[in-house]
Structure formats: structure tokens, C-alpha cells
């Protein structure tokens, strides 16, 4: 009886051992499966090609990131908003210009600009900005090329990261210096694409990065005004800051410094229009001499980053990408919209995340700001034109050189201030009160110039 009991116990033990092994194997297999599924969930891309720091063609990046690339291609669209955007206008088969369509001429829409810029290339051709897809083509065929453009212009009209690396043997700062000194058509030979993935993203991690040396230096100058020394934007900036900084690489006020036409951002005194003007005064810089009055002039570029930095959205921590590249769902994925455009063309996604009003109400609020802004711009432009005409008349009537020079200095300042907000792409929306303050001061500077002639 005892012998039989011992045989059953051995069998039972063997059975328990087999079952235990099976259960353990099943648990390990289940945990392995769970881990693999979690890893898959974290992986939002399927790498089908290898990309590295020398892959400049956005189409190659697009094989790994097809959703973002599809959006990138949509920047070729031309859709008008009430006070901005671009509208396809027939180009009229101009000799040497293959473009079938162009955007609207702002010189025809705002006739004061021609006289305000008399003697400068912008009085020859100045149009509404089109999407990123056209940034290189439109720069190549603008009538301003007949006046002559430096290679410096290529920095923000093309994907230049690869070109700078190549020209500098891996050193983008050295390549940047070489591009600056080239004539535009020579610099053009070193680039192929408009701004592309490699200009804003690390190829290994897709982390945002700054590739433009002028921005690296400019933002370091600005941080120094805040008591922050040795600022390295790619080391020290937060991710949310980078979601504005990558746009600020090009959407800024800038000038071509010295005989080498070195691209420079005038941020040594701060980011306001007053700080930029103070910088130019210290540098004794001028863009051109006014053809009618002889005044030493400044041409504002497109200071979207600076105006945004003075506005309520910046104050609230809202980045450029939050509105112009708002997150969206494509299937089960959440991505940044790379169809970069006016938020008014995508108002529900761009604005609706924070503002719980219907689309028409949000558009109406924006257009109220922009309508008031445009009326004030017109008053400021007319004031500058009145000053120019008064200076011309004073010179013809033999008014003293001392009075003429003082009036010319007011013309320089009044023009720069109104141009600063007219050339900016939000029609006053980025910082409505700051834009109104700048325009009010421009009007006052024109009045002071007229008074100087008495």
C-alpha cells in the first residue's frame, strides 16, 4: 500500500512540473508579446530608407514620413485670405520668366510703396508672399534680380544646410561665410530645394534644430541683453521655444553687414523695432540712398518673429507651430501639420484648441484687428509720402542743408517704422497693440520731419 502511494506522488510531481513549465513559458510569451506591442505603439514611423545629415532631398525623407511630406507639398497651393495669403495671377509670359502664375503685386495694391522705396530694388517688384514651395522660384525670377542681388539672399529662399556643409567641408559657419560673399546666381548653383526637412530636423531623432548661423548668433545677442551669456540655441532652448525658433531662422528682420554682405540679425539691443533702429544707428548702416530726397534709408524685411514676441500669444507661451502647424489626427496618428499656412485657412484646428467659439466668430475677431491695422498703415504711409514731397519742395526752394538733413533723418525713421509692420505677414495680428504703437510713432516722425523744414 505504501509502495503504490509513492508511485502516484512521483507522477503527480512530474505533472506539476510539466504544467509549471508550460505556465511559465506562456507568461513569458505573453509578456514578450505585450512588450513588442508597446514598442510598436511608440514607433510612429516605418523607416524604409536610411537618411543622414547629408540627405537633402525632402522626397527621400518623405519615404519615411509620407504624411508630413504630403503636407509639405501642399504649400504650393495659393489661397487668399482677406488681408493676406496669395492669389494666382497670370504672369503674362514675361521673357526669361517661366512662371505661369504669380501672386498679386503689392506695388499696384499700395501705390505709396514705390515712392517710399524710390531708388531701391523693392520699388521694381514686390508681391504677396507665396507658400514655401515657391520661395526659391520667386526669388530667382523677381524683377529685383535685374538690380542685382547678393548670395546672402539665398539663405532664406532655399535649403542651404547641405550647401553650407559642402562649402565649409563640414563646417556650416565656414560655408555660411562663403555663401554670403557670392553673387546670387553663383550661390544658386549650390542649392536645389526650397526649405526642406534637413533645415529644421535632426535626421537621426527628428528633434528640432537650428541650422542658420545668423539665428544662432542673433538669438545669443538677444539672450545677452537678458543677462544670459554664452547662449547656445541648440543646447539651451526648450522644445517649445524651438517650435518658434525654427521659424524665426528666416521670418525676421535682418541686414547685410559690411562689404562681405554678411547676413546679420539686429538683436544686440533687443527684439523690438526701437531696438533694431538703435542697432542700425550704432552701426551707421543704410540699405540705400533715397532717389528723391537723398536720405540714408533702411528697408525692413519680414519681422514676424519679433512682432510675435511682443504679442499676447507669445506671452501665453503659444509657439509659431501651435497655430501655423497645428497638431492633427491622420487615422490613429497625431502629427504636426506641415501644410504651413495662415491659421485663418485652418481656423478650427489652429485656433479652436484654445478658443471655444465657432469658426466664423474667430475669423471675424481677427479681421476686426486686421481692418483697423490696415487703415492705420494707410495713414502712416500717406504721412511718409507727405514728408518726402515736402523735403523735395524744400530742396527746390533752397531751404538750409541743416534742416534738410534733420528732415531726412526723420524720413529714415518714419519709413523704417511703417515698413516694419507693413512688411510683416500677419497684418497686425501677431501683436495688434504693438503694431498700432509703431504706426503711431511713424506718423509722429513724419510730422516732426515736416516741422523740421519750417
Among 5-19, 168-182, 274-288, 369-383, the least confident range: 5-19
Residue 12 has pLDDT above 90, yes or no: no
User: pLDDT tens, 175-184?
Assistant: 999 999 999 9
Among 92-106, 280-294, 409-423, the least confident range: 92-106
Residue 45 has pLDDT above 70, yes or no: no
**Quick check: 407 and 391 in contact, CB under 8 A?**
yes
**Quick check: 313 and 429 in contact, CB under 8 A?**
no
Residue 407 has pLDDT above 50, yes or no: yes
Burial pattern 113-141, b for ≥16 Cβ within 10 A else e, equals bebbbbebbbbebbbbbbbbbbbbbbbbb
The secondary structure of residue 208, as a DSSP letter, is B
| Closest among 376, 388, 210 to 292, alpha carbons compared | 388
Mean pLDDT of the region 383-409: 98
> pLDDT-based confidence at 95, cuts 50/70/90?
confident
Rounded CA gap, 448 and 440, in Å?
Answer: 12
> pLDDT-based confidence at 38, cuts 50/70/90?
low
pLDDT of residue 2: 45
Mean pLDDT of the region 259-273: 96
pLDDT of residue 13: 75
Q: What is the CA radius of gyration of the chain?
A: 29
Q: What's the number of domains the chain is made of?
A: 1
> pLDDT-based confidence at 1, cuts 50/70/90?
very low
Rounded CA gap, 99 and 94, in Å?
Answer: 8
Kindly report the number of other CB atoms within 10 A of residue 418's CB atom. Answer: 29
122 within some domain: yes
The overall average pLDDT reported for the chain is: 93
Residue 121 has pLDDT above 70, yes or no: yes
CATH of the domain at 203: 1.10.1130.10
Residue 399 has pLDDT above 60, yes or no: yes
> pLDDT-based confidence at 298, cuts 50/70/90?
very high
> pLDDT-based confidence at 146, cuts 50/70/90?
confident
User: pLDDT tens, 18-36?
Assistant: 788 778 777 878 787 776 6
Show the cell assigned to 434: 504693438
Angle 451-452-454 (CA atoms, 0-180°, nearest 5)? Answer: 70
Rounded CA gap, 161 and 171, in Å?
Answer: 10
| Closest among 237, 250, 253, 247 to 325, alpha carbons compared | 247
346 within some domain: yes
pLDDT of residue 8: 63
196 within some domain: yes
Residues 6 or more apart whose CB falls under 8 angstroms from that of 188 comprise 140, 154, 158
Residue 212 has pLDDT above 60, yes or no: yes
Give the max Cα distance, the chain.
137
Residue 150's domain comprises: 58-354
Show the cell assigned to 196: 526642406
> pLDDT-based confidence at 411, cuts 50/70/90?
very high
Among 10-14, 208-212, 434-438, the least confident range: 10-14
Show the cell assigned to 55: 540627405
**φ and ψ at residue 317, rounded to 5 degrees:** 85, 15
Q: What is the DSSP string of 406-423?
A: HHHHHHHHHHHHHHHHHS
| Closest among 352, 351, 329, 334 to 342, alpha carbons compared | 351
Rounded CA gap, 372 and 374, in Å?
Answer: 6
**Quick check: 255 and 280 in contact, CB under 8 A?**
yes
Show the cell assigned to 279: 542697432
User: pLDDT tens, 350-366?
Assistant: 999 999 999 999 999 99
379 within some domain: no
Residue 14 has pLDDT above 80, yes or no: no
137 within some domain: yes
Query: What 3-state class would DSSP assign to 23?
Result: helix
pLDDT of residue 36: 64
2 within some domain: no
pLDDT of residue 39: 59
Rounded CA gap, 113 and 382, in Å?
Answer: 10
Distances in whole angstroms, Cα of residue 296 to Cα of each of 125, 269, 292, 349, 381: 21, 21, 11, 45, 18
Mean pLDDT of the region 52-65: 96
**φ and ψ at residue 53, rounded to 5 degrees:** -75, 0
241 within some domain: yes
Burial zone of 263 (CB within 10 Å; 0-12 exposed, 13-18 middle, 19+ buried): buried
* Full-model pTM: 0.88
> pLDDT-based confidence at 3, cuts 50/70/90?
very low
Burial zone of 354 (CB within 10 Å; 0-12 exposed, 13-18 middle, 19+ buried): exposed
% the chain with pLDDT above 90: 84
148 within some domain: yes
Amino acid at each position: 500500500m505504501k509502495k503504490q502511494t509513492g508511485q502516484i506522488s512521483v507522477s503527480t510531481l512530474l505533472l506539476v512540473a510539466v504544467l509549471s513549465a508550460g505556465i511559465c513559458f506562456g507568461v513569458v510569451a505573453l509578456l514578450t508579446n505585450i512588450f513588442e506591442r508597446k514598442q510598436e505603439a511608440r514607433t510612429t514611423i516605418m523607416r524604409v530608407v536610411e537618411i543622414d545629415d547629408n540627405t537633402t532631398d525632402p522626397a527621400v525623407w518623405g519615404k519615411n514620413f509620407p504624411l508630413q511630406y504630403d503636407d509639405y507639398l501642399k504649400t504650393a497651393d495659393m489661397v487668399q485670405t482677406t488681408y493676406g495669403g496669395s492669389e494666382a495671377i497670370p504672369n503674362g509670359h514675361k521673357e526669361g520668366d517661366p512662371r505661369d502664375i504669380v501672386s498679386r503685386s503689392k506695388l499696384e495694391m499700395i501705390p505709396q510703396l514705390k515712392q517710399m522705396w524710390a531708388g531701391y530694388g523693392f520699388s521694381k517688384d514686390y508681391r504677396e508672399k507665396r507658400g514655401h514651395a515657391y520661395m526659391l522660384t520667386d526669388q530667382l525670377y523677381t524683377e529685383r534680380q535685374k538690380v542685382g542681388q547678393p548670395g546672402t539672399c539665398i539663405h532664406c529662399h532655399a535649403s542651404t544646410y547641405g550647401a553650407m556643409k559642402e562649402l565649409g567641408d563640414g563646417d556650416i559657419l565656414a560655408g555660411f561665410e562663403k555663401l554670403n560673399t557670392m553673387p546670387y546666381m553663383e550661390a544658386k548653383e549650390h542649392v536645389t530645394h526650397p526649405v526642406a526637412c534637413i533645415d529644421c530636423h535632426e535626421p537621426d531623432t527628428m528633434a528640432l534644430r537650428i541650422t542658420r548661423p545668423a539665428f544662432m548668433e542673433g538669438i545669443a545677442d538677444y539672450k545677452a541683453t537678458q543677462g544670459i551669456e554664452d547662449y547656445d540655441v541648440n543646447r539651451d532652448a526648450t522644445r517649445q521655444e524651438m517650435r518658434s525658433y525654427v521659424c524665426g531662422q528666416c521670418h525676421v528682420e535682418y541686414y547685410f553687414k559690411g562689404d562681405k554682405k554678411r547676413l546679420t540679425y539686429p538683436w544686440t539691443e533687443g527684439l523690438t523695432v526701437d531696438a533694431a533702429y538703435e542697432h542700425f544707428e550704432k552701426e551707421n548702416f543704410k540699405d540705400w540712398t533715397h532717389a528723391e530726397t537723398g536720405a540714408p534709408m533702411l528697408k525692413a524685411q519680414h519681422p514676424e518673429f519679433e512682432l510675435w514676441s511682443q504679442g499676447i500669444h507669445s506671452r501665453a507661451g503659444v509657439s509659431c507651430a501651435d497655430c501655423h502647424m497645428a497638431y492633427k489626427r491622420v487615422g490613429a496618428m497625431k502629427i504636426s501639420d506641415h501644410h504651413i499656412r495662415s491659421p485663418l485657412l485652418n481656423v478650427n484646428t489652429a485656433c479652436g484648441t484654445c478658443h471655444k467659439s465657432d469658426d466664423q466668430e474667430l475669423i471675424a475677431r481677427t479681421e476686426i484687428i486686421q481692418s483697423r491695422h490696415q487703415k492705420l498703415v494707410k495713414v502712416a504711409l500717406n504721412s511718409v509720402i507727405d514728408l518726402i514731397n515736402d523735403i523735395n519742395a524744400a530742396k527746390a526752394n533752397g531751404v538750409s542743408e541743416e534742416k534738410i538733413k534733420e528732415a531726412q533723418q526723420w524720413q529714415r525713421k518714419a519709413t523704417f517704422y511703417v515698413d516694419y509692420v507693413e512688411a510683416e505677414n500677419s497684418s497686425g495680428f501677431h501683436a495688434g497693440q504693438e503694431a498700432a504703437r509703431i504706426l503711431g510713432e511713424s506718423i509722429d516722425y513724419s510730422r516732426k520731419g515736416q516741422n523740421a523744414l519750417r
